[in-house]
A and B are shown apart, each in its own frame.
Chain A
Amino acid sequence: MSQEPVSQEPVSHAPVLEAIDIVKDLGSGAGKVRAVKGASLSLIPGELTLLMGPSGSGKTTLLSILGCILTPTSGSLRIAGVSTDKLNAEELAALRRKHMGFIFQSYNLFPTLTALENVRISLDVRGQKGFAAANRSEEVLRDVGLAYRLRSYPGNLSGGEQQRVAVARAIASSPSIVLADEPTAALDGENGHAVMALLARIAKEQHRSVLAVTHDPRTLSYADRVVRIEDGRIVGEERRPEGLDAPEIADLTKRRKAHA
């Protein structure tokens, strides 16, 4: 994997994302539901964090808030030291452009654009155009192992390949934060492992903060940290002990869960 500008800077362990006491109400009137109930979370560079919880636990809502796509009802969110409290939709979009990359469960690729163009468009919205953008897009697609699929349309790619294009799109602009929503949900075992290994590699080698929302137990072995959410509340956090290999954290998690 190529070296990113981010990785060339002095390694920092300061949080790039800090969410404190986030509350989010969805709906209104009698149908109002409190989806997130005072969640606090921070992300530091170089870590792959999993946000795990059952369906309806509020993990995707929390991810949307952390990604500045939804605004919290209360609580505070800081991205790279910038408070999002008073930012309007355009300023939040600018914050996303500058600091974030997204990976979606259904890939959300543009069906009419080739793999290369799908990556290029994420650079284009950031004002990066021309040959430099084309070269960078090609480079990241090679990094995720899709050098042979540059001109393919999403309809001609397998699910795993499409998700790798989505990963390439997310990291093309070298964001400090990569947010992934159920990145393995639509993939078979082999492709799921490949994508998670890719995310873990991005966190480690490029020194990015990667947060993946998932309820897929296959992903546990790749996590540096697992944050549990239930009924809109953070109910636990497990960190892989220093020196523990990736697969071992899965066993550790199982044992902790059994004790609880």
Chain B
Amino acid sequence: MILTLAFRNLFHDRIRLAVTLVGILFSIVLVAVQLGLYLGASNMITANIDAAKADLFITVFGAKSFEDGGMLLTSRERHQALATPGVKAVIPLIVRFAEWRKPEGGSTRVVIVGTDAEDGGLAPINLVDGTWEDIKAPEAVAIDRTYLNELGITGIGATAQVQNTRIRVRAITDGVRSFVQSPYTYTTLNRARSIFGDADGVTFYLVQTQPGANIEKVRQDLKGRLEGAEVLTKAEFRDRSLKQWLFRTGAGVALIGGALLGSLVGTVIVAQTLYSSTKDHLGEFATLRALGSSSGYIHKVILAQAGISAVVGYLLGISIALTILVLSHNTALPMVMTPGLAFWLFTLTVGMCAISALSAIVKVTKIDPATVFSK
């Protein structure tokens, strides 16, 4: 009967129910989009780090992100690293901004990612057209299909100029976006060296350790050997990149702030409508109390009202959020929705509605059952 009464109380006033649901829906969509974009941005920022098969990253001292490091490491650091006990492989990786000159004129910035996939360090993510063998061909690069228009090309076979080097698109990736809006352009290590005219410098070394090696000990040994370089775990490098792009630039703060604001506004709207609903049904709650119901029983009715609102509001909100997700797929910053985020949003909705029910519960706690005789 608790659910029946809660359901009937809610659906008795459909306009108020609509306001409640719009409040929850607004909140869920806003939070889902903001957090979905946050996750999308995080994925973009860390995609290459996550894809790299490395236990440790050797970076130039103070490198703030995957795109920040110049080409200051040399083969000297590589040899020192290779001489460290427990190290199996040290794979060079070049990551550097470059000028992309469009065939029809004009230019834009790209991030050249130069590495040899056969070294087992980092290969272009999600190649959908062409293979790594194609990228090894003269002048070859791989770019993401999202950026074809922006780079002024049409697809496989197109040519352009990067810095002073002619390149040809030989492979296409899908869904590899760049948070800094400079498309990742994958090529071989030697071609990257050639583009930048630097025969020895690299941006990072990807360190793979021997099976069973103590990674932390290897890391400490490397730190002791490499002056002017940092040795980071994958997790540390991810965190550092996220911190740089999401928090130092304020983008992440804005997204999280928007999500918090969404939950706050949703909570206020739901609290207001639940409170007014409870106020309207106060006489009935007083009757229940007079009939001998425990206060817990009445609280359960209010919480059930909040719960029903949460479930219906969530289903509506998540449907709209998923529609936005689909629509954002081909944009520069696609939204991401994971089962974890969907579950977290449901928990947030239920929590938000439960908090909203508090004001109604406080109101109902003060019911004087004697009012049943004064009607």
A69, A90, A105, A120 pick with most chain B CB within 10 angstroms: A69
Interface centre among A95, A105, A121, A129 (most CB of B within 10 A): A121
B370–A64 contact, CB under 8 A? Answer: yes
Q: Which of B90-98, B208-216, B285-293 contacts A (4 or more CB under 8 A)?
A: B285-293
A111's nearest neighbour on chain B, judged by CB, is: B12
Distance (whole angstroms) from the CB of A67 to the closest CB of chain B: 7
Whether, in the assembled complex, A8 has its beta carbon less than 8 Å from a beta carbon of chain B, the answer is: no
Does A90 lie within 8 Å of B294, measured CB to CB? yes
Supply 11 further A-B pairs (C-beta < 8 A) apart from A96-B292, A106-B375, A121-B5.
Answer: A67-B290, A69-B373, A89-B295, A93-B289, A102-B290, A102-B291, A105-B373, A108-B375, A121-B1, A121-B288, A124-B1
A93-B292, A125-B297 known; A120 and B1 CB under 8 Å?
yes
Do residues B9 and A125 form an inter-chain contact, with CB atoms below 8 A?
Answer: no
Given A64-B373, A104-B373: A96 touches B8 (CB 8 Å cut-off): no
- Convert B1-42 into 0s and 1s, putting 1 for each residue whose CB lies closer than 8 angstroms to a CB of A: 110110011011000000000000000000000000000000
Interface residues of A in 81-118 (CB under 8 A from B): 89-90, 93-98, 100, 102, 104-106, 108, 110-113, 117
Cα–Cα, bound, A113→B11 (Å): 12
Tell me if A219 counts as interface (CB < 8 A to partner B): no
Q: Which residues of A contact B369 (CB under 8 A)?
A: 69
A104–B4 CB distance below 8 A:
no
Q: Can you give 6 A-B contacts (C-beta < 8 A)?
A: A60-B374, A97-B292, A102-B290, A108-B290, A110-B8, A111-B12
Identify the closest chain A residue to B288 (Cβ).
A125
> What are the residues of chain B within 8 A of A169 when measuring CB–CB?
291
* Interface flag for A1 (CB, 8 Å): no
Q: Is the CB of A181 within 8 A of B373?
A: yes
| Contact present for B293 and A93 (CB under 8 Å) | yes
Given that A104-B375, A110-B284 are known contacts, is A125 also in contact with B292, CB under 8 Å in the complex?
yes
> Does chain A have a CB within 8 A of B158?
no
Residues of B within 8 A of A176 (CB): none
A101 to chain B, nearest CB (A): 8
Q: Given A104-B375, A113-B4, A124-B1, A69–B284 Cβ distance below 8 Å?
A: no
Q: Is the CB of B294 within 8 A of A94?
A: yes
Measuring CB to CB, which residues of chain B are less than 8 angstroms from any residue of chain A? 1-2, 4-5, 8-9, 11-12, 283-284, 287-295, 297, 369-370, 372-375
Complex CA–CA separation, A231 to B249 (angstroms):
77
Report whether B372 and A126 are in contact in the complex, using a CB–CB cutoff of 8 Å.
no
Tell yes or no: A63 within 8 A of B by CB.
Answer: yes
Given contacts A69-B370, A104-B373, contact A112 B9 (CB under 8 A): yes
- Inter-chain contacts of B297 with A (CB < 8 A): 125
Whether A129 contacts B1 by the Cβ 8 Å rule is yes
Q: How far is the CB of B118 from chain A (nearest CB, A)?
A: 69
User: Contact residues of A with B, CB < 8 Å?
Assistant: 60, 63-64, 67, 69-70, 89-90, 93-98, 100, 102, 104-106, 108, 110-113, 117, 120-122, 124-126, 129, 169, 181
Q: Which residue of A lies closest to B2 (CB)?
A: A124
Complex Cα distance, B301 from A125, in Å, reads 11
Minimum CB distance partner of A67 in chain B: B290
**A138: min CB distance to chain B, Å:** 15
Contact A90 B295, CB 8 Å, known A64-B370, A104-B375, A120-B1: yes
The interface residues of chain B lying within 8 Å CB-to-CB of A96 are 290-292
Within 8 Å by CB of A60, from B1, B5, B12, B373, lies B373
* Bound-state Cα–Cα, A60 to B375, Å: 12
Bound together, the chains give a CA A141 to CA B4 distance in angstroms of 20
Give Cα distance in the complex from A69 to B287, angstroms.
Answer: 11
- Chain B residue contacts of A105, Cβ below 8 A: 373, 375
Q: How far is the CA of A8 from the CA of B2 in the complex (A)?
A: 32
Whether B12 contacts A112 by the Cβ 8 Å rule is: yes
- When chains A and B are docked, how far (Å) is the Cα of A129 from the Cα of B4? 13
B319 vs chain A, min Cβ distance (A): 28
Closest residue on chain A to residue B13 by CB atoms = A112
**Whole-angstrom distance from the CB of A191 to the nearest CB of chain B?**
19
- Which of A60, A90, A106, A122 contacts B291, CB < 8 Å? A122
Complex: A63 Cα to B369 Cα, angstroms: 13
Chain B residue nearest in CB terms to A104: B372
Chain B's closest residue to A90 (CB) is B294
Once the chains are docked, how many angstroms separate the CA of A108 from the CA of B283?
8
- List residues of chain A with CB within 8 A of the CB of B288: 121, 125
Cα-based distance from A98 to B293 in the complex (angstroms): 11
Interface centre among A60, A95, A96, A120 (most CB of B within 10 A): A96
Give the residues in chain B near A108, CB-CB below 8 Å: 283-284, 287, 290, 372, 375
